[in-house]
Structure formats: C-alpha cells, structure tokens
A and B are shown apart, each in its own frame.
Chain A
Amino acid sequence: MLEFRAMKIVEKAQLMSAAEIDRTLQRLAHEIVEKSGGTKHLALIGIRRRGVPLAQRIVQAMRGIDGVEVPVGILDITLYRDDLSKVAPQAVLQSSDITFGVDGMNLVLVDDVLYTGRTIRAAMNGLFDLGRPQRVSLCVLIDRGHREMPIESQYTGRVVQTSATEIIEVRLREIDNEERVVLVDRVE
C-alpha cells in the first residue's frame, strides 16, 4: 500500500461513459433473464462495494422486462479472502445482507471487475456457508483478464485487454459521485 502511494496514477483512457454503462447493464439484465428462462428462483448477489449498486441497477432493469421484483443480496467477502495477511486487519468489517434463503436458488454474483478470480472464489465460499444454491453464475461489468483461478463470467459487460500495471476503475455515482469506467496506469 505504501509503495502504491509513492507511484503516480495516470488516466490513460475512458472505457465507458455513463450512457454506455447504462446500456450495458440493460443488456446484461436481458441476458440474465433470457438465459435463466425468466425470473423464477432468480436472485442477484452484489459483492461489496461496487457490485452492490450494479446488482441493484440490473434488478431495476429487470423490473422493466418482467415486471418482477428480483431479490438482491449483499455479500462482504473480507473474511473469506485468501490474502488476509496483506489486508489491513483494522479495516472496518461490513456485514453481508442476504435476507432470502439461498437453497435451491439461481444466484447471479455481480461485481464490477473480474481480474484474478480470487474475489469470486471468496464470494462462493461465503455463499455456500449460507446454503446450497441450485446454480451460481457470474456477471461483471468488465473482464480484464489475468486470471489466477479457473473462473469465468457468464454475463460480461466488456472484455478489456490490460497489462499487469494497469488498473480499471469503475466509478459509480452511488459511491464515487461520478459515472464512468477509466483505465489508469501506475508510473514510477
């Protein structure tokens, strides 16, 4: 974290505008409903933090498609991470909030960026502590490659080729007060 701060962050490109994010989420909502054969037993699980507003927006889009209220849960994966010792243990833990039973459900995990796959692995560990869903699939806004786990997304907003030093920043109005996806790079 310290060396991170010493480096300069340069914005290289804007990958998505607010309108593009919105259109992509609309499409993802349609895809999920289509591939799930409707919204029966369907629920979305947003991964803290930016997966949460994305899941909520996809559910809102689904309301327009099927007129059905698809439940949204919130999953905090801090305690399920495999790199705990590298994470500040003093970070304030957030609660997960999944009020429906997951047994037999068709769950879609929602996150902003798919990278190494470790977050998703952790999320699945957390999810299976809650019960036995019928099916779990993954929806991400950006897939940037560099996987370290055999994990792929079923619903992908956009695939972006990146180098290891580059960072994808998904900025959402609910959290960041602006709405766009940018590619930034770290330079010494």
Chain B
Amino acid sequence: MIYRFRDLLALEPLSAAELTFLLDQSKPFQEIQRHPLKKLATLRGKTVALAFFETSTRTRISFGTAASRLGADSMNLQAEASSLKKGETLLDTAFNLNAMKPDCLVMRHSASGAADYVARHLDMPVVNAGDGTHEHPSQGLLDALTIRDRKGTIENLNVTILGDLSHSRVARSNIHLLGKFGCRFTLCGPAMWVPHELEKIAPGTPIRSVYKIEEALEDADVIIMLRVQTERQHEPSISANDYIHGYQLNAERLKRAKPNALVLHPGPMNRGIEITPEVADGPQSCVLEQVTNGVAVRMAILYLLIAGDSEDGAHPAVRQAPATPTAHNRRSTDDAAQHPVSKGKDS
C-alpha cells in the first residue's frame, strides 16, 4: 500500500514516497490531455460532489473537468446559490449532499480545517480544494508536477515565494510538499504579509523571510508568485503603486534569479500589478502548464480515492475507525446500490 489515507485533506501529513506516488500517477493523465479524445470511462457511474462554499473558477472547473474526463458525473454546489445563505450549517449541507450518494466530495471553504471537519463526519473520501489559509493540496501537487517536468527534479531547489504569504494556503501546501524533497525557501513580500511564524511550519525545512525582492530572487531556481488576496485582508493594505514599485516581478528583477528559473502563479494573475506581461508570457513562465497539469493531478486524485472504493468496501486506504459510525450511509448499502452498475458495464 502506497497511499495511506481515505481522503486528501493536506500535504503536510504525506510522506515523500506518497507525494512521489501521487505525482507519478498524474503522468498517464497528463498524456490523456494530449489525446484527441480525452474522455475515459474509468469512473463511469460514479459521482463527484463539488461543494465550493467559497468562490472559485479555475479549481472548480478543473475538478469538474477531471471528473468528466474520468467518465464520472459531478454535482455542483456553489456558495451564492446554496442553502448556506438560508442558514443551514456546513455539516447539514454536507449530510444532505451525502444523502444524494456521491462517491467523493471535493470541497472548498473559507474556514481552515473545514474539509477535515466534514471528512470526520462522512464515510466517503473528501478532497480539500482549499480551506481558509490552511492548505490547497491539489495546487501544491500541480505546482510540483510542473516544476518536475521542467527541471527534471523537485529536489534541493531554491524556491522563492512572493506576495501575500500570510493568507496563502498555496504557499503552505508548496512548503509542505517541496520541503520534503530538500528545497530551501525564501519568503518575500511587504512585512505585514510575511509572518515569521511561517518559518517554523515545516521543521527541518530551511525557510527565511526577506523584504527586498532583489535579495529574494538571488539564486532562485523557482519563483512562485501569489495573488494579492483582497478578500482575506482585514488590515490596511498596501497601495498598488507601492506594491509595483517594491515587489512586482519584471524582466529586470528576474535576471537576478538563476538563468533558467521558473515562474509559477496559481492564478488569477493581476497583470501589471504583481507580474509584468513580459514575464507572465515569457519563456520562464509555467502559468498555463500549471493549469493543464491541474486537470491531470486532479484526475489522479479522484482515480485514487474513488476507483478502489467499492465491492466489499475494503478500500485499502479506509481509515481504521470512522469517527462517527452513524447510519447516514453505511458502506454496505452503498455498494449494494452500486454493484449492478459496475456489473452492467460490459453487457
């Protein structure tokens, strides 16, 4: 057994071997993105519930595309249109989605730990598509896959993360993943966005904070840009002009990094603010590869978590003891319902 968990909630608890396995499993799915026909029937008859309690365009479409290319159906819940607006609790919404018998729940929520909380109450796999300022595991994986494809390795690289680090779950997932492969991190941004606590989130991983972009870019192999997250900022913000002056990644500044340094951005990009179009569209930019790889990584995640989860319910990654053995949907009932579907595939 390679992957120990039923869910994908965070990258922090995963071992280097598990992370490598997830990256390797994404490779065949990358190849499928290049096929003229991209749709598999691998997860036919399975349903993926996409519950985005916080707005998202890219990640939601990416997971939806991944599900569809695996042959699965998806159900979509969006915050604006949901009953959360009408006062339903998160757990009640999750139980209601669960009652429609999906095979996996992909969720994003503005509260850190929300996916973990829901996973403890459901007996189906849960994928964290971003929880508050905690983690965004699929983004961390797709970034690593993109770096590995371009550089041939994710080991012992100098990684500079630029921007609003205090609110960034992307930065945390990147540090937890790449840190396990010996990467060294330089965090850079305006002082109020670069909390010193971040230097201690991954014991054993060298992490330093600097406040001058020129210094941060020195010797960098990989530069990960972060979006300025206005929706999460409560303290007085920095003006756009000051940010451009102090922290914009332009061609001149990029020269300070290693000649073949990669530039990543999780999107959406603010062209002309944190990054110049010249850099964003330049040969060192991996922005669109990240998006393509995102679908492949998410296909690998859904395949791993859903594919083996049937028959006698003996998924190798099922956690030892479900936290709440409620009668919401016992695995056995589920399987009885699914069995004819999988049997009928060949007829």
Contact = CB atoms under 8 A, between A and B. Distances in A.
A128 to B, nearest CB: 7
A48 B56 CA distance: 39
B37 A128 contact: yes
B25 A93 contact: yes
B252 interface: no
Contacts of A93: 24-25, 27-28, 300
B342 A80 contact: no
B310 interface: yes
Contacts of A128: 37
B311 A90 contact: no
Interface in A107-136: 118, 121, 125, 128-131
B308 interface: yes
B40 A79 contact: yes
Interface stretch (A39-47, A63-71, A81-89, A159-167): A81-89
Contacts of A87: 307-308
A105 B38 CA distance: 20
B28 A76 contact: yes
A131 B28 contact: no
A121 B2 CA distance: 29
A131 B36 CA distance: 7
A130 B310 contact: no
Given A85-B310, A90-B304, A79 B36 contact: no
A128 B41 CA distance: 13
A81 B44 CA distance: 11
B197 interface: no
Nearest to A122: B41
Q: Which of A87, A89, A96 is the most central at the interface, judged by chain B CB atoms within 10 Å of its CB?
A: A89
B276 to A, nearest CB: 37
A78 B303 CA distance: 11
A79 B28 contact: yes
A154 interface: no
B346 interface: yes
Contacts of B40: 79-80, 129
Interface residues of A, number: 27
Contacts of A129: 32, 35-40
Given A89-B303, A130-B35, A95 B316 contact: no
A121 B1 CA distance: 29
A131 B37 CA distance: 8
A92 interface: yes
A85 B342 CA distance: 8
Interface in A25-83: 76, 78-82
A158 B308 CA distance: 35
Nearest to B345: A82
Nearest to B335: A85
B41 A118 contact: no
Nearest to A103: B36
B36 A130 contact: yes
B3 interface: yes
Contacts of B32: 79, 129
Contacts of A95: 27-28, 31
Contacts of A118: 346
B25 A92 contact: yes
A151 to B, nearest CB: 12
B42 A90 contact: no
Interface string B33-71: 001111111110000000000000000000000000000
Q: Which of A76, A129, A148 is the most central at the interface, judged by chain B CB atoms within 10 Å of its CB?
A: A129
Contacts of B41: 80, 125
B117 interface: no
A86 B311 contact: yes
A118 to B, nearest CB: 7
A130 to B, nearest CB: 6
A96 B28 contact: yes
A80 B42 contact: yes
Given A95-B27, A96-B28, A96-B31, A89 B307 contact: yes
A14 interface: no
A94 interface: yes
30 contacts: A76-B28, A79-B32, A79-B40, A79-B42, A80-B40, A81-B42, A82-B346, A84-B43, A85-B311, A87-B307, A87-B308, A89-B307, A89-B308, A89-B309, A89-B316, A90-B2, A90-B304, A92-B2, A92-B21, A93-B25, A93-B28, A93-B300, A118-B346, A121-B346, A128-B37, A129-B32, A129-B38, A129-B40, A130-B37, A149-B346
Interface of B: 1-3, 21, 24-25, 27-28, 31-32, 35-43, 300, 303-304, 307-311, 316-317, 342, 345-346
Interface of A: 76, 78-82, 84-90, 92-96, 118, 121, 125, 128-131, 148-149
7 closest Cβ pairs, A-B complex = A89-B308, A89-B307, A129-B37, A85-B310, A93-B28, A79-B42, A95-B28
